[in-house]
A and B are shown apart, each in its own frame.
Chain A
Amino acid sequence: MTADVQAGAPAIPAATPTAAVATAGRPRRAPWRILWWLIFLAGVAYFTLPLVGTLAFSLRAIPPLSAYTDILTDQQFFTSLGYSFVVGLLTIVISISLMVPTAFWVRLRMPRARPAVEYITLLPFVVPPIVLVFALISTYSHPPLPFTHTDIGSTALLVCGYVVLSFPYMYRAVDVGLRSMDIRALTEASQSLGANWFTILTQVILPNLRVALLSGAFLTLAIVIGEFTMANYLARPAFAPYLSLLGSNEPYQQSAVALVSFGLTWVAMGFITILGRGSRSKIAVTGAR
């Protein structure tokens, strides 16, 4: 990885002679090309340096690799990761069971409601996590609905908050997925065979949406496992707050866990890339963190 970073340096002196030759023949092509290479390599250097720095920092621990072996014996690492994973799965299930019927129904029967639904699903861009958690806590920390008074209530509130955060990309993913199939024909065919709405949604629509939904699910998982703001202010034992607090006692282990967290994001996005091959539904843009 360090080789990538240093590769930028020798490229500069090597560039000059090539440039001189090229200007004589085809004007401006080669020097421009070198400039584009430099822009690209400088960006790559910026991208890799913090990762290399974190890796090198984690390897400074004595004895060697103890930063990583410490993770394996750290109960809290597994409980917090497990907690975030379960919260992520709940978020995915609720988000999908809300978004698929809604987007389906809007396309099939309620095109009039489209602007309103789209407007609501875009609201999380306007209400960032810090404001959303502020609003949720302010509303649900006292009767009639004192969610935050119990652990299970706080976790429920966290899951619901994450579902709201997933609205923008989940709705768009499902909607784009629905656009590529003839839902009217599928619905009528199912109805004429005697299927009810539940059967249509679960047996006909859902399987056709699996690429879009799996991409959305992996993105949600990556986001939920890395999310700090809402989990922190709801005082939940999630992964990001655990990582945040690790540093005061265990700086080396913290750097190792930070890399693990990057690796988890990489795995989730890797699945999305594999799934996205040859499909039109691309989701990438999420909210602020």
Chain B
Amino acid sequence: MTGSVVQMNAQGAPTARPGRRRFGRTWLGLAPFAIFSTLFLLIPTAYLVVGSFQDPAGDLTLQNYADLSDPVITNAYATSLEISLVTAVAGGVYGFLMAYAVISAGLPRRLRSGLMTFSGVASNFAGIPLALAFIFTIGRTGLLTTFLDSVGIRPYESGFSLYTKVGLEIVYFYFQLPLMILIIAPAIDGLKQEWREASENMGATSRQYWRYVALPVLMPSLLGAMILLFGNAFGAQATAYQLTGGFINLVPLLIGNQLSGDVLHNVGLGYALAMGMVAILGITLIAYSVLQRRSERWLR
């Protein structure tokens, strides 16, 4: 079966001689990539999968997955999911508004390229320096905190803290927002001026235009982008590590603790924990690709 397909492909390329003889060499071209990804991606991931189904003695078990119901672990998943969801939706909505403001809302053209360039930088400004920037600004002795203290507003005495879930969400928002701006800008560009004119000619109000034209066209892109944001926050580790010193209970931090000192006292449970993360991110990627296909229908 495979041989005939090769022949068909080969007909398109006059220099290649059709025939079974070439089959091995054709595959050989992909060998370096195949070997590399097998060694450093597929085998290690498979190692985790297999390990997650083994007990310490190496026998087959489902106990590791049953142990995920431990309150510490379910709590970590709940917190991770909540932070990812909140920052994906908030960053998604505000990122869309900001992108729309510079692209279609009549703000000076120059702002657009400025915001896009900055977003490219800011979406990569994650991890340690980002957490530090927020600590220096609204940490307990940060610039803004001391300023607010001096004018009588004491954020840390009225229940705010950077080193909590809300604080972490504020920090994550910093890379979610620019990422949304970058992803959604092409979709906003794809909204054709003619659609608006057509709906206005037919007597539609601005609200009706949004309700029945713009939002339905944009919806797959918006949802897809937010799903990408969700995955982006869910997999993040360094920012939370630096900000909370590993004390806030998140799945990536739990995996980090397991990695540096087997805190779960069960290697298999650590593997199952990582597999849970992979499963959730796998679902988000599938959902994303489905929505991506839909959004391509209108936005070309």
| A89 located at the interface, meaning its Cβ lies under 8 Å from any Cβ of chain B in the complex | no
Report the minimal beta-carbon distance from A115 to chain B, rounded to whole angstroms.
12
Chain A 99-112 per-residue mask, 1 if CB under 8 angstroms from chain B, else 0: 10110011011111
| 16 other A-B residue contacts (CB within 8 Å) besides A128-B237, A129-B235, A284-B183 | A36-B100, A36-B101, A36-B106, A53-B133, A53-B137, A53-B143, A110-B29, A117-B30, A127-B41, A127-B281, A130-B256, A135-B45, A164-B40, A228-B128, A228-B241, A284-B123
Report the minimal beta-carbon distance from A226 to chain B, rounded to whole angstroms.
5
Chain B 256-291 per-residue mask, 1 if CB under 8 angstroms from chain A, else 0: 101110000001001100100110011001000000
Chain A 206-247 per-residue mask, 1 if CB under 8 angstroms from chain B, else 0: 000000000000010011001111001100000010011001
Chain B 39-54 per-residue mask, 1 if CB under 8 angstroms from chain A, else 0: 1111111011001000
Contact at A269–B236, with CB atoms within 8 Å? no
Report the minimal beta-carbon distance from B113 to chain A, rounded to whole angstroms.
8
| B92 located at the interface, meaning its Cβ lies under 8 Å from any Cβ of chain A in the complex | no
Contact at B281–A125, with CB atoms within 8 Å? yes
Contact at B13–A54, with CB atoms within 8 Å? no
**Known contacts A53-B143, A273-B117; is-contact A134 B259 (Cβ 8 Å):** yes
Contact at A130–B132, with CB atoms within 8 Å? no
Contact at A128–B241, with CB atoms within 8 Å? no
- Using a CB–CB distance below 8 Å, which chain A residues touch chain B? 28, 32-33, 36-37, 39-40, 43, 46-47, 49-54, 56-58, 97-99, 101-102, 105-106, 108-113, 117, 120, 122-140, 157, 160-161, 163-164, 167, 184, 187-188, 191-192, 219, 222-223, 226-229, 232-233, 240, 243-244, 247, 254-255, 258-259, 261-262, 265-266, 268-270, 272-273, 284-289
Contact at A50–B278, with CB atoms within 8 Å? no
- What are 27 pairs between A and B in contact, CB < 8 Å? A36-B100, A39-B101, A47-B122, A50-B130, A50-B136, A53-B142, A98-B32, A98-B33, A102-B30, A123-B45, A126-B285, A129-B237, A136-B44, A138-B267, A161-B40, A187-B15, A229-B127, A265-B125, A266-B121, A273-B117, A284-B123, A284-B183, A285-B179, A288-B231, A288-B232, A289-B236, A289-B238
Query: Which residues of the other chain, A, contact B179 by a CB distance below 8 angstroms?
Result: 285
| B177 located at the interface, meaning its Cβ lies under 8 Å from any Cβ of chain A in the complex | yes
Contact at B237–A229, with CB atoms within 8 Å? yes
Contact at A233–B256, with CB atoms within 8 Å? yes
Contact at B133–A50, with CB atoms within 8 Å? yes
Contact at A226–B127, with CB atoms within 8 Å? yes
**Known contacts A120-B37, A164-B40; is-contact A130 B144 (Cβ 8 Å):** no
Contact at A110–B26, with CB atoms within 8 Å? yes
User: A36 is contacted by which of B105, B256, B270 (Cβ under 8 Å)?
Assistant: B105
Contact at A288–B235, with CB atoms within 8 Å? yes
Query: Which residues of the other chain, A, contact B118 by a CB distance below 8 angstroms?
Result: 47
